[in-house]
Copies of this chain bind each other. A is one copy, B any other.
Amino acid sequence: MPADTTLPAAVTIREVGPRDGFQNEPERIATADKVRLIEALARTGLQRIEVASFVRPDVLPQLDDGVAVLQAIDVPDDVHLSVLVPNQRGLDRALELRDRFHEICLFLSASETHNRRNVNSAVDDSLAAIERMLPQVHAAGLRCQAVVATAFGCPYEGVVPGERTLEIAGRLAAAGADEVGFGDTTGMANPLQVRAFFAAARQALPNVELTAHFHNTRGQGLANVLAALEAGCTSFESSFGELGGCPVPAGATGNIASEDLVSMLHEMGIETGVSLPALLDATRDVQRVLGRPLGSHVLVAGPIEWATA
């Protein structure tokens, strides 16, 4: 069989479990467990980890120990840590710890209804707020990732036209975002849509890193990854143990599992820098902490030998 040379040779993965995953857990996770799990993830070869959120503690008590986590973790220098910031107040709090992480994630939704329900703001107002915050992020010597949620579809409004998502991404890029992420927040993207979108986005925004964040809500998470790879995307987000990511309705799948993503990429010969056995060790640890079986496929079935390298 002839080799396929149309896909990227290597990709970068941001592990979002410690923020996006943990925030969906109803039972309190001890700070010491969070620290140990982040440190384990940071030694798997993952290059990026989202580790904390500066959302209001009363809104998200599970993540109210973000400062303690950031102060405690000891990770290799080449692992880039990011924190999520919803607004100016969160940014002010985050910047007090600016020497403990590398990137700040600012976000909004592509759909008006979702943005209003999520952050009680019009999309244009959220864009303006990000445009005000972004220079402060850079002035603090930090990298800025801007994320567009509901980038492909919205549970309230239906399909989100790619042109609209691209228009928002263009504003974020013009404001100086180093990276723009596209979140399929409720798992409504399909591979054709993804491939066309990333092809157009790479053409429109050649100087910004573009990141794909898919959910597996309807089972298409890795098919969407394949489609994004085909359009040249080299940056992905996922969550160990398939944790988090808007599992609506209850019981539904959210984020794609990091183990499943890494396994597929390695099976296809695409480098991630991640040790799959080490990642699975971290996932088994979080499964033990959470006390319930987690849903990632490779955790249950085990990796294929040639994906573990």
Residues of A within 8 A of B (CB): 1-4, 7, 153, 158-159, 161-163, 187-188, 190-193, 195-197, 200, 216-223, 225-227, 248-249, 251-253, 256-257, 260, 263-264, 267-269, 293, 296-298, 300-306
When the two chains form their complex, are residues B296 and A219 in contact, meaning their CB atoms are under 8 A apart? yes
Cα distance A195–B191 in the bound complex, in angstroms: 15
Contacts of A263 in B (CB 8 A): 218-220
Contacts of A162 in B (CB 8 A): 1
Cα distance A297–B227 in the bound complex, in angstroms: 19
Taking the nearest CB of chain B, how far is it from the CB of A28, in angstroms?
A: 26
Point out which of A223, A227, A256 has the most chain B C-beta atoms below 10 A from its C-beta.
A223
Cα distance A257–B227 in the bound complex, in angstroms: 20
Cα distance A14–B200 in the bound complex, in angstroms: 35
Cα distance A215–B196 in the bound complex, in angstroms: 27
When the two chains form their complex, are residues B195 and A4 in contact, meaning their CB atoms are under 8 A apart? yes
Contacts of A1 in B (CB 8 A): 161-163, 193, 196-197, 200
Taking the nearest CB of chain B, how far is it from the CB of A103, in angstroms?
A: 28
B200, B226, B260, B305: which contacts A218 (Cβ < 8 A)?
A: B260
When the two chains form their complex, are residues A253 and B297 in contact, meaning their CB atoms are under 8 A apart? yes
Contacts of A260 in B (CB 8 A): 218-220
24 contacts between A and B (CB under 8 A): A1-B162, A1-B163, A1-B193, A3-B196, A4-B192, A153-B304, A158-B305, A159-B306, A188-B304, A192-B268, A193-B268, A218-B260, A218-B263, A218-B301, A219-B222, A219-B256, A219-B297, A220-B267, A222-B222, A249-B300, A249-B302, A253-B297, A253-B300, A253-B301
